[in-house]
């Protein structure tokens, strides 16, 4: 999972390939906002104050670093959109530093802007994989595409099946070992970021009546069929 270090980082862009599992050390609440301090090791290599680290898929800015721990402030908007309110001291979290210019893109482009949460509604072992199904808000079902990408707690995964607002992924042993997803059970809540390309296509299609953009244009670049618009 460890990625080659680069000197320059691309702000607020990630790959969904978790670099390390960290541990929530302390949580300080300030009204509807909070301040998280997280223990880790690898994620702090070449990290400085002001850098971005995705915590369970949400992009946070490092505000302080102390040995094997960093702190970041969480806004009320992020608290509202994510499952961060469930964090407790000792909670394990997925960590990924912002993408570097020298890094390989192993997952898919993740912006660190969590759209909302989903609930695990089923989990079963199937051969060497764990099959997990999630239920999300109905308004997000348009972004669910079979064989498309989705980031769950910051992990880049492929949607194996989908029906309305329910989708299923297959968690292979390596991904399960390197992330916190195998620790999740039915009823648990996760952060979800849907593929941003689908959102941009939706915006373009919504504006198509004001422009010359057509479905044929999207199909020309193999976008329409891929995203099911």
pLDDT tens, position by position, 82-101: 999 999 999 999 999 998 76
The answer to whether 83 and 56 are in contact (CB under 8 A) is yes
CATH class of 20-97: mainly beta
- In this predicted structure, what is the pLDDT of residue 12? 78
- Supply the pLDDT for residue 157: 97
For tokens 């916190």, the residue is: 180
pLDDT higher for 88 or 102? 88
Domain 116-202 part of CATH 2.40.110.10: no
DSSP designation for 41: S
CA proximity to 15, closest of 52, 48, 57, 60: 57
Mean pLDDT of 113-128: 97
Can you tell me the distance from the alpha carbon of 61 to that of 209, in angstroms, rounded to the nearest whole number?
39
Q: Token pair of 130, please?
A: 């764990």
| 80, pLDDT greater than 90 | yes
Fold: same for 20-97 and 116-202: yes
pLDDT of res. 207: 67
Domain ranges across the chain? 20-97, 116-202
* pTM for this prediction: 0.84
């Amino acid at each position: 999972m460890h990625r080659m270090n680069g000197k320059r980082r691309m702000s607020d862009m990630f790959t969904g390939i978790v670099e390390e599992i960290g541990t929530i050390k302390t949580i300080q609440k300030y009204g509807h906002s909070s301040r998280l301090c997280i223990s880790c090791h690898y994620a702090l290599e070449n990290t400085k104050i002001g850098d971005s680290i995705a915590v369970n898929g949400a992009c946070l800015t490092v505000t302080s670093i102390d040995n094997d721990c960093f702190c970041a402030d969480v806004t009320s908007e992020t608290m509202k959109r994510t499952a961060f309110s469930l964090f407790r001291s000792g909670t394990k979290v997925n960590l990924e530093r912002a993408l570097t210019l020298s890094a390989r893109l192993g997952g898919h482009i993740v912006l660190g802007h969590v759209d909302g949460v989903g609930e695990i509604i089923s989990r079963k072992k199937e051969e060497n994989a764990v099959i997990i199904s999630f239920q999300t808000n109905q308004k997000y079902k348009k972004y669910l595409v079979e064989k498309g990408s989705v980031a769950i707690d910051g992990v880049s995964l492929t949607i194996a099946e989908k029906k309305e607002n329910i989708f299923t992924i297959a968690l292979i042993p390596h991904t399960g070992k390197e992330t916190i997803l195998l620790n999740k059970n039915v009823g648990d809540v996760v952060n979800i970021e849907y593929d941003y390309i689908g959102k941009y296509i939706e915006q373009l299609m919504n504006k198509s009546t004001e422009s010359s953009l057509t479905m044929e244009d999207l199909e020309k670049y193999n976008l329409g069929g891929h995203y099911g618009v």
